[in-house]
Amino acid sequence: MDGKRGYAFTGRGGGSIALDVGGKGDVSESNTVWTGNENASFASPVRHKSRLYVVSRGVLTVVDAETGERLDQIRLKGARQTGGRFGSLDYASPIVVGDRLYYLNGSGQMFVFDVSKEDVEQVSVNLVTNEKETFWGSPAVSSGRMVLRSSKHLYCVMDKGETPKPTENVVARADPPAPGRGNSASRPGGGGPSGPAAGPGGRGPGGRGPSGRFDPAQMFNGMDTDKDGKVTMAELEGNRMADRLKTLDKDGDDAISKDEFTSGIAGLFSRGGGSNRGGGGYRSRGNDTRPDRPQRPESAGV
Protein backbone atom coordinates (compact mmCIF):
# COMPACT_ATOMS: atom_id res chain seq x y z
CA MET A 1 0.00 0.00 0.00
CA ASP A 2 1.01 3.59 -0.68
CA GLY A 3 -1.57 6.04 0.60
CA LYS A 4 -4.76 5.01 -1.20
CA ARG A 5 -3.10 2.81 -3.80
CA GLY A 6 -2.37 -0.88 -3.44
CA TYR A 7 0.03 -3.05 -5.43
CA ALA A 8 -0.06 -6.82 -5.89
CA PHE A 9 2.39 -9.20 -7.55
CA THR A 10 1.27 -12.80 -8.03
CA GLY A 11 3.47 -15.84 -7.60
CA ARG A 12 2.25 -18.10 -10.39
CA GLY A 13 2.49 -16.15 -13.60
CA GLY A 14 -0.58 -14.01 -13.00
CA GLY A 15 1.27 -10.74 -13.36
CA SER A 16 0.93 -7.57 -11.29
CA ILE A 17 -1.63 -4.86 -10.68
CA ALA A 18 -2.03 -1.43 -9.12
CA LEU A 19 -5.41 -0.45 -7.68
CA ASP A 20 -6.87 2.65 -6.10
CA VAL A 21 -8.69 1.53 -2.96
CA GLY A 22 -12.16 2.69 -1.99
CA GLY A 23 -15.32 3.18 -4.01
CA LYS A 24 -18.55 1.19 -4.12
CA GLY A 25 -19.86 -1.63 -6.23
CA ASP A 26 -17.78 -3.19 -8.97
CA VAL A 27 -14.68 -0.99 -9.28
CA SER A 28 -12.60 -3.51 -11.21
CA GLU A 29 -12.21 -1.21 -14.19
CA SER A 30 -12.56 2.24 -12.68
CA ASN A 31 -10.00 1.63 -9.90
CA THR A 32 -7.43 -0.33 -11.87
CA VAL A 33 -4.45 1.97 -12.48
CA TRP A 34 -2.33 -0.52 -14.41
CA THR A 35 -1.65 -4.21 -14.94
CA GLY A 36 1.72 -5.75 -15.73
CA ASN A 37 3.54 -9.01 -16.42
CA GLU A 38 5.96 -8.89 -13.50
CA ASN A 39 5.72 -11.70 -10.94
CA ALA A 40 6.92 -12.52 -7.46
CA SER A 41 7.43 -15.83 -5.68
CA PHE A 42 6.71 -15.35 -1.97
CA ALA A 43 8.25 -11.96 -1.20
CA SER A 44 6.16 -8.79 -1.30
CA PRO A 45 7.36 -5.74 -3.24
CA VAL A 46 8.62 -2.63 -1.49
CA ARG A 47 8.06 0.93 -2.74
CA HIS A 48 10.77 3.59 -2.56
CA LYS A 49 10.00 7.01 -4.03
CA SER A 50 8.41 6.33 -7.44
CA ARG A 51 9.63 2.76 -7.85
CA LEU A 52 8.63 -0.74 -6.76
CA TYR A 53 11.25 -3.39 -6.03
CA VAL A 54 10.46 -7.10 -5.99
CA VAL A 55 12.79 -10.12 -5.72
CA SER A 56 11.95 -13.46 -7.30
CA ARG A 57 14.17 -16.43 -8.17
CA GLY A 58 17.41 -14.57 -7.65
CA VAL A 59 16.45 -11.48 -9.66
CA LEU A 60 15.63 -7.95 -8.46
CA THR A 61 13.01 -6.31 -10.70
CA VAL A 62 12.47 -2.54 -10.68
CA VAL A 63 9.01 -1.30 -11.73
CA ASP A 64 7.69 2.21 -12.24
CA ALA A 65 5.00 2.62 -9.57
CA GLU A 66 2.97 5.04 -11.70
CA THR A 67 2.88 3.07 -14.97
CA GLY A 68 3.80 -0.53 -14.12
CA GLU A 69 6.61 -0.41 -16.68
CA ARG A 70 9.64 -2.58 -15.97
CA LEU A 71 12.64 -0.30 -15.58
CA ASP A 72 15.40 -2.77 -14.79
CA GLN A 73 16.19 -6.34 -13.83
CA ILE A 74 19.33 -7.22 -11.88
CA ARG A 75 20.49 -10.74 -11.11
CA LEU A 76 21.75 -11.08 -7.54
CA LYS A 77 25.53 -11.39 -7.65
CA GLY A 78 26.96 -14.17 -5.50
CA ALA A 79 23.59 -15.81 -4.83
CA ARG A 80 23.61 -19.50 -4.05
CA GLN A 81 20.78 -21.97 -4.30
CA THR A 82 18.62 -22.08 -1.23
CA GLY A 83 16.35 -25.04 -2.00
CA GLY A 84 12.64 -24.97 -2.70
CA ARG A 85 11.04 -24.84 -6.12
CA PHE A 86 13.35 -23.54 -8.85
CA GLY A 87 16.21 -23.53 -6.32
CA SER A 88 15.09 -20.40 -4.52
CA LEU A 89 13.40 -19.55 -1.22
CA ASP A 90 12.24 -15.99 -1.67
CA TYR A 91 10.21 -15.85 1.52
CA ALA A 92 11.63 -12.69 3.05
CA SER A 93 10.57 -9.38 1.52
CA PRO A 94 13.09 -6.65 0.68
CA ILE A 95 13.16 -3.53 2.84
CA VAL A 96 14.51 -0.03 2.18
CA VAL A 97 16.34 2.01 4.80
CA GLY A 98 17.49 5.42 3.61
CA ASP A 99 18.76 4.81 0.09
CA ARG A 100 19.76 1.20 0.72
CA LEU A 101 17.65 -1.81 -0.20
CA TYR A 102 18.24 -4.97 1.83
CA TYR A 103 17.17 -8.43 0.73
CA LEU A 104 17.70 -11.61 2.79
CA ASN A 105 17.43 -14.96 1.02
CA GLY A 106 16.65 -18.34 2.55
CA SER A 107 20.26 -19.36 3.12
CA GLY A 108 21.08 -16.21 5.11
CA GLN A 109 22.71 -14.13 2.38
CA MET A 110 22.02 -10.42 2.77
CA PHE A 111 22.13 -8.45 -0.49
CA VAL A 112 22.56 -4.67 -0.29
CA PHE A 113 21.64 -2.33 -3.15
CA ASP A 114 22.12 1.40 -3.64
CA VAL A 115 18.75 2.76 -4.83
CA SER A 116 19.64 6.46 -4.63
CA LYS A 117 20.29 6.75 -8.37
CA GLU A 118 18.44 5.82 -11.52
CA ASP A 119 20.77 2.89 -12.12
CA VAL A 120 20.39 0.47 -9.21
CA GLU A 121 23.69 -1.01 -8.08
CA GLN A 122 24.45 -4.01 -5.87
CA VAL A 123 26.80 -2.84 -3.14
CA SER A 124 27.56 -6.09 -1.35
CA VAL A 125 26.42 -9.55 -0.32
CA ASN A 126 27.06 -10.78 3.21
CA LEU A 127 26.50 -14.16 4.84
CA VAL A 128 24.77 -13.84 8.20
CA THR A 129 25.99 -17.18 9.55
CA ASN A 130 27.86 -20.32 8.55
CA GLU A 131 25.38 -22.41 10.53
CA LYS A 132 22.92 -24.58 8.62
CA GLU A 133 19.84 -22.42 9.13
CA THR A 134 16.92 -21.21 7.02
CA PHE A 135 15.69 -17.62 6.96
CA TRP A 136 11.98 -17.14 6.29
CA GLY A 137 11.16 -13.82 7.95
CA SER A 138 11.66 -10.33 6.57
CA PRO A 139 14.25 -8.16 8.34
CA ALA A 140 13.11 -5.46 10.77
CA VAL A 141 14.98 -2.23 11.54
CA SER A 142 14.66 -0.15 14.69
CA SER A 143 16.94 2.43 16.32
CA GLY A 144 19.73 1.78 13.85
CA ARG A 145 19.73 -1.99 14.38
CA MET A 146 18.54 -4.77 12.12
CA VAL A 147 16.82 -7.85 13.53
CA LEU A 148 16.87 -11.14 11.57
CA ARG A 149 15.13 -14.40 12.46
CA SER A 150 16.27 -17.81 11.28
CA SER A 151 15.00 -21.30 11.98
CA LYS A 152 17.36 -21.46 14.98
CA HIS A 153 18.33 -18.00 16.14
CA LEU A 154 17.37 -14.34 16.41
CA TYR A 155 20.14 -12.02 15.22
CA CYS A 156 20.69 -8.33 15.91
CA VAL A 157 23.01 -6.51 13.52
CA MET A 158 24.45 -3.18 14.57
CA ASP A 159 27.00 -0.67 13.28
CA LYS A 160 30.49 -2.10 12.84
CA GLY A 161 32.03 0.42 15.23
CA GLU A 162 29.40 0.00 17.95
CA THR A 163 30.15 -2.02 21.07
CA PRO A 164 27.10 -3.52 22.78
CA LYS A 165 26.74 -3.32 26.52
CA PRO A 166 26.61 -6.73 28.27
CA THR A 167 23.16 -5.95 29.65
CA GLU A 168 21.87 -5.18 26.14
CA ASN A 169 23.15 -8.47 24.80
CA VAL A 170 20.59 -10.52 26.71
CA VAL A 171 17.20 -10.66 24.99
CA ALA A 172 15.62 -13.31 27.24
CA ARG A 173 16.63 -16.03 29.61
CA ALA A 174 15.43 -19.57 29.06
CA ASP A 175 13.92 -21.69 31.82
CA PRO A 176 16.18 -24.45 33.17
CA PRO A 177 16.00 -27.56 30.92
CA ALA A 178 13.61 -30.28 31.99
CA PRO A 179 15.19 -33.51 33.29
CA GLY A 180 15.71 -36.20 30.69
CA ARG A 181 16.20 -33.93 27.70
CA GLY A 182 19.91 -34.51 27.48
CA ASN A 183 22.19 -32.23 25.54
CA SER A 184 19.65 -31.18 22.91
CA ALA A 185 17.85 -28.82 25.31
CA SER A 186 21.06 -26.97 26.10
CA ARG A 187 21.79 -26.10 22.47
CA PRO A 188 20.39 -22.90 20.96
CA GLY A 189 17.03 -23.71 19.45
CA GLY A 190 16.72 -26.97 21.38
CA GLY A 191 18.01 -29.11 18.52
CA GLY A 192 16.39 -27.15 15.68
CA PRO A 193 12.82 -26.90 14.44
CA SER A 194 12.48 -30.63 13.84
CA GLY A 195 14.57 -31.75 16.79
CA PRO A 196 13.36 -33.52 19.91
CA ALA A 197 12.75 -30.31 21.81
CA ALA A 198 10.80 -28.54 19.07
CA GLY A 199 7.09 -27.81 19.29
CA PRO A 200 4.43 -27.69 16.57
CA GLY A 201 5.85 -25.88 13.58
CA GLY A 202 9.26 -25.67 15.19
CA ARG A 203 8.41 -23.02 17.75
CA GLY A 204 8.99 -23.31 21.47
CA PRO A 205 9.13 -26.29 23.76
CA GLY A 206 7.96 -29.50 22.15
CA GLY A 207 5.83 -30.76 25.00
CA ARG A 208 7.96 -33.77 25.93
CA GLY A 209 7.98 -34.81 29.55
CA PRO A 210 10.87 -36.28 31.55
CA SER A 211 10.24 -39.68 29.95
CA GLY A 212 10.71 -38.21 26.48
CA ARG A 213 7.06 -38.82 25.54
CA PHE A 214 4.64 -36.16 24.38
CA ASP A 215 3.13 -34.21 27.28
CA PRO A 216 0.22 -31.81 26.46
CA ALA A 217 0.71 -29.88 29.71
CA GLN A 218 4.38 -29.34 28.92
CA MET A 219 3.50 -28.08 25.44
CA PHE A 220 0.87 -25.71 26.84
CA ASN A 221 3.30 -24.31 29.40
CA GLY A 222 5.84 -23.68 26.65
CA MET A 223 3.37 -21.67 24.56
CA ASP A 224 1.95 -19.77 27.55
CA THR A 225 4.87 -17.35 27.59
CA ASP A 226 3.41 -14.91 30.13
CA LYS A 227 2.33 -17.79 32.43
CA ASP A 228 -1.22 -16.48 32.89
CA GLY A 229 -2.85 -19.87 32.40
CA LYS A 230 -4.02 -19.29 28.83
CA VAL A 231 -2.52 -19.13 25.35
CA THR A 232 -3.58 -15.98 23.51
CA MET A 233 -3.69 -15.42 19.76
CA ALA A 234 -0.67 -13.13 20.13
CA GLU A 235 1.30 -15.96 21.75
CA LEU A 236 0.42 -18.20 18.80
CA GLU A 237 1.72 -15.69 16.27
CA GLY A 238 4.55 -17.22 14.24
CA ASN A 239 3.60 -20.80 15.13
CA ARG A 240 3.21 -22.84 11.95
CA MET A 241 0.28 -24.67 13.48
CA ALA A 242 -1.45 -21.52 14.71
CA ASP A 243 -4.54 -21.95 12.53
CA ARG A 244 -5.12 -25.48 13.80
CA LEU A 245 -4.39 -24.62 17.41
CA LYS A 246 -6.86 -21.73 17.30
CA THR A 247 -9.66 -24.27 16.79
CA LEU A 248 -9.12 -25.35 20.41
CA ASP A 249 -10.65 -22.05 21.56
CA LYS A 250 -14.17 -23.39 22.14
CA ASP A 251 -15.64 -20.47 24.09
CA GLY A 252 -14.61 -17.84 21.54
CA ASP A 253 -12.67 -15.60 23.92
CA ASP A 254 -9.58 -15.50 21.64
CA ALA A 255 -7.56 -17.48 24.17
CA ILE A 256 -7.01 -21.18 24.81
CA SER A 257 -7.35 -22.25 28.41
CA LYS A 258 -5.38 -25.17 29.79
CA ASP A 259 -8.56 -27.27 29.97
CA GLU A 260 -9.43 -26.47 26.34
CA PHE A 261 -5.91 -27.35 25.29
CA THR A 262 -5.51 -30.65 27.12
CA SER A 263 -9.02 -31.85 26.22
CA GLY A 264 -8.78 -30.91 22.54
CA ILE A 265 -5.19 -31.64 21.60
CA ALA A 266 -5.82 -35.38 21.20
CA GLY A 267 -8.41 -34.80 18.48
CA LEU A 268 -6.23 -32.20 16.81
CA PHE A 269 -3.40 -34.67 16.26
CA SER A 270 -5.47 -37.80 15.73
CA ARG A 271 -5.62 -37.62 11.93
CA GLY A 272 -2.35 -37.02 10.13
CA GLY A 273 -1.37 -33.96 12.18
CA GLY A 274 0.49 -35.91 14.82
CA SER A 275 3.60 -37.96 14.50
CA ASN A 276 5.29 -40.99 15.96
CA ARG A 277 8.76 -39.69 15.25
CA GLY A 278 11.24 -40.83 17.81
CA GLY A 279 8.64 -42.90 19.63
CA GLY A 280 7.24 -39.78 21.28
CA GLY A 281 4.21 -39.09 19.09
CA TYR A 282 0.78 -38.47 20.54
CA ARG A 283 -2.03 -40.37 18.84
CA SER A 284 -5.55 -41.06 19.90
CA ARG A 285 -7.54 -42.81 17.17
CA GLY A 286 -10.53 -43.97 19.18
CA ASN A 287 -12.75 -46.10 16.93
CA ASP A 288 -11.29 -44.65 13.74
CA THR A 289 -10.42 -47.61 11.51
CA ARG A 290 -9.13 -45.64 8.53
CA PRO A 291 -5.48 -46.31 7.56
CA ASP A 292 -2.78 -43.91 8.69
CA ARG A 293 -2.00 -41.11 6.33
CA PRO A 294 1.61 -40.85 5.13
CA GLN A 295 3.48 -38.68 7.59
CA ARG A 296 5.02 -35.39 6.52
CA PRO A 297 8.81 -35.74 6.00
CA GLU A 298 11.30 -33.79 8.10
CA SER A 299 11.91 -30.27 6.79
CA ALA A 300 14.88 -30.11 4.47
CA GLY A 301 17.91 -28.20 5.58
CA VAL A 302 17.23 -28.14 9.30
Is 142 within the bounds of a domain? yes
- Verify that 210 and 156 share a domain, yes or no: no
With contact defined as beta carbons under 8 Å apart, do 169 and 163 qualify? no
- Verify that 139 and 31 share a domain, yes or no: yes
Is 284 within the bounds of a domain? no
In this prediction, residue 193 carries a pLDDT of 36
- Verify that 213 and 119 share a domain, yes or no: no
Tens digits of residue pLDDT in 66-124: 999 999 999 999 987 766 555 556 789 999 999 999 999 988 999 999 999 999 999 99
- Range list of β-strands (E), 105-213: 109-114, 121-127, 140-142, 145-149, 154-157
Q: Considering 162, 177, 209, which residue would you say is the last residue of a domain? A: 162
DSSP-derived secondary structure letter, 183:
G
- Verify that 26 and 127 share a domain, yes or no: yes
- Verify that 222 and 118 share a domain, yes or no: no
Other Cβ atoms less than 10 A from the Cβ of 252: the count is 6
| Rounded CA separation 151/181 (Å) | 20
Is 219 within the bounds of a domain? yes
- Verify that 195 and 100 share a domain, yes or no: no
In this prediction, residue 302 carries a pLDDT of 37
- Verify that 154 and 14 share a domain, yes or no: yes
Overall domain count for the chain: 2
Is 291 within the bounds of a domain? no
Tens digits of residue pLDDT in 113-132: 999 999 999 999 999 998 88
Q: What are phi and psi of 243, to 5 degrees?
A: -60, -40
CATH number of domain containing 125: 2.130.10.10
- In angstroms, the Cα distances linking 76 to 2, 94, 131, 163, 253 are 26, 13, 22, 31, 47
pTM given for the model: 0.55
- Tell whether the model's pLDDT for residue 282 goes beyond 90: no
Is 60 within the bounds of a domain? yes
Is 218 within the bounds of a domain? yes
pLDDT greater at residue 34 or residue 272: 34
- Verify that 144 and 207 share a domain, yes or no: no
Please give the span between the terminal C-alpha atoms of the chain, in angstroms, as a whole number.
34
Residue 29 structural domain: 5-162
DSSP-derived secondary structure letter, 256:
E
Q: What is the dihedral of CA 210, 214, 220, 226, to 10 degrees?
A: 40
Q: Work out the average pLDDT over 284-291.
A: 47
User: Which residues 6+ apart lie within 8 Å of 208 measured at CB?
Assistant: 178, 181, 196, 197, 214, 215, 218, 280
Rg, Å, the chain Cα set: 23
pLDDT greater at residue 194 or residue 199: 199
In percent, how much of the chain has pLDDT > 90?
A: 38
- Verify that 132 and 248 share a domain, yes or no: no
- Tell whether the model's pLDDT for residue 203 goes beyond 50: no
Q: Work out the average pLDDT over 23-36.
A: 93
DSSP string for 19-83:
EE---SS--TTTTEEEEE----SSPPPEEETTEEEEEETTEEEEEETTT--EEEEEEPTT----S
Q: What is the dihedral of CA 125, 128, 132, 135, to 10 degrees?
A: -90
In this prediction, residue 269 carries a pLDDT of 61
- Tell whether the model's pLDDT for residue 247 goes beyond 50: yes
Is 30 within the bounds of a domain? yes
- Verify that 254 and 117 share a domain, yes or no: no
What's the mean per-residue pLDDT of the chain? 77
Cα angle vertex 217, ends 134, 199, to 5°? Answer: 10
Q: Work out the average pLDDT over 191-211.
A: 44
- Verify that 15 and 137 share a domain, yes or no: yes
Least Cα distance to 258 among 291, 226, 220 occurs for: 220
Q: Which helix (H) or strand (E) holds 95?
A: strand 95-97
Is 300 within the bounds of a domain? no
With contact defined as beta carbons under 8 Å apart, do 135 and 108 qualify? yes
Phi-psi bin for 229: left (phi > 0), alpha (psi -120 to 50), beta? left
- Tell whether the model's pLDDT for residue 191 goes beyond 50: no
In this prediction, residue 265 carries a pLDDT of 83
CATH number of domain containing 274: 1.10.238
Q: What are phi and psi of 110, to 5 degrees?
A: -105, 115
Assign 141 a pLDDT band (cuts: 50, 70, 90). very high
